[in-house]
Amino acid sequence: MSDITTVLPNESFDIPSIVQALRDVRVTSLEHRHRRNKPPKLPARKALQTVIDGLSAALFPNRLGAPGLKDEGIDYFVGFTLDTALRELNTQIQLELRYSADTDHDKTPSAEAAMNKARAFAKSLPKIRKLLDTDLDAAFQGDPAARSLDEVLVCYPGISAIIHYRLAHELHKLGLPLIARIISELAHSATGIDIHPGATIDEGFFIDHGTGVVIGETALIGRHVRLYQAVTLGAKRFPTDEQGHLIKGSARHPILEDDVVIYAGATILGRITIGAGSVIGGNVWLTRSVPPNSQITQAKTQVSATDDVAQ
């Protein structure tokens, strides 16, 4: 027999009064946001995780698909998996469009509008797969520890984050920023790599190790760029309007031209350009543009002969 006394929740926490107080706060919050009615449902993280898992399996059925899949069954598996994932995605698109319409006080969007976006996204999947193949090649060629493309695909957190990004970016371009952001945050939570879906990243992108990488919304990244862990491509300042509100949507993140390498811990801030072929060393803090083929490193520390130096 347990010595712990069982009590009813209402007797111990005064639940009814807390529920009423929370309701009052909720109603006040809705009125502050000019919402008199019940707010529309948002796209669901769990549902979108299922969508991304299905799309990933359809893109790479032999490695991310069902175990034991045979050659003669691949097309059937891809078709069935795509149909399931895209139907769920269409449902989530409808939720975002209804939410946006409620926020902007527009008329309720039609089911056809959501389906048109889902169809447009579906048609982009072969292009996304081709881009991902260039990312896989970049990772394999850029990491001497990589033994195979299969290892890169199933093991590397950078590739997982890039798969999420490529899918999210296409949805972002279709005018679905909330779904796109949720998908990017799923990758962020799993890998520690934060790529805003609004960023534009060309082919052959490689993130080595990856934890702590941050790529801002308006960053532009060229072909065959390589980043290491804890690199930040961020904004230098956040301008405000006359009322003190942040001005959103302005180009405020770096431009990386082709074949740039940025080593661990470097912080690149503002709308600056890193010229093609440049190498930015570890832990560099950079807020100015640099020409092509630059080599930027920290200032060397001078050590006198009398200093104690670890051998």
The enclosing domain of 182 has a CATH number of: 1.10.3130.10
Q: Are residues 123 and 71 in the same domain?
A: yes
Q: Are residues 183 and 207 in the same domain?
A: no
Q: Are residues 169 and 238 in the same domain?
A: no
Mean pLDDT of 215-228: 98
Residue pair 215/196 in contact (Cβ under 8 Å)? The answer is yes
Residue pair 233/268 in contact (Cβ under 8 Å)? The answer is yes
The per-residue pLDDT for range 287-308, each reduced to its tens digit, is: 999 999 999 998 754 444 444 4
Does residue 272 surpass a pLDDT of 80? yes
Q: Are residues 146 and 60 in the same domain?
A: yes
Does residue 155 surpass a pLDDT of 60? yes
- Could you list the residue range(s) of the whole structural domain that residue 272 is in? 199-301
pLDDT confidence of 147, banded at 50, 70, 90? very high
How many distinct structural domains can be found in the chain?
Answer: 2
The pLDDT value recorded for residue 31 is 75
Mean pLDDT of 69-93: 96
Q: Are residues 173 and 207 in the same domain?
A: no
Q: Are residues 77 and 126 in the same domain?
A: yes
Two structure tokens written together for 117: 């976006």
Mean pLDDT of 68-96: 96
Residue pair 35/102 in contact (Cβ under 8 Å)? The answer is yes
Q: What are phi and psi of 308, to 5 degrees?
A: -80, 120
Residue pair 158/210 in contact (Cβ under 8 Å)? The answer is yes
Does residue 114 surpass a pLDDT of 80? yes
pLDDT confidence of 109, banded at 50, 70, 90? confident
Among residues of the chain, what percentage have pLDDT more than 90?
A: 75
**Looking at 144, 171, 193, which one is the last position of a domain?**
193
- Per the prediction, the chain carries an average pLDDT of 90
Mean pLDDT of 37-57: 92
Pairing of strands 220-221, 214-215: unpaired
Q: Are residues 107 and 235 in the same domain?
A: no
Q: Are residues 59 and 188 in the same domain?
A: yes
pLDDT confidence of 11, banded at 50, 70, 90? low
Mean pLDDT of 269-292: 97
Mean pLDDT of 75-87: 97
Mean pLDDT of 226-234: 98
Q: Are residues 185 and 47 in the same domain?
A: yes
| Amino acid residing at 271 | R
Q: Are residues 118 and 244 in the same domain?
A: no
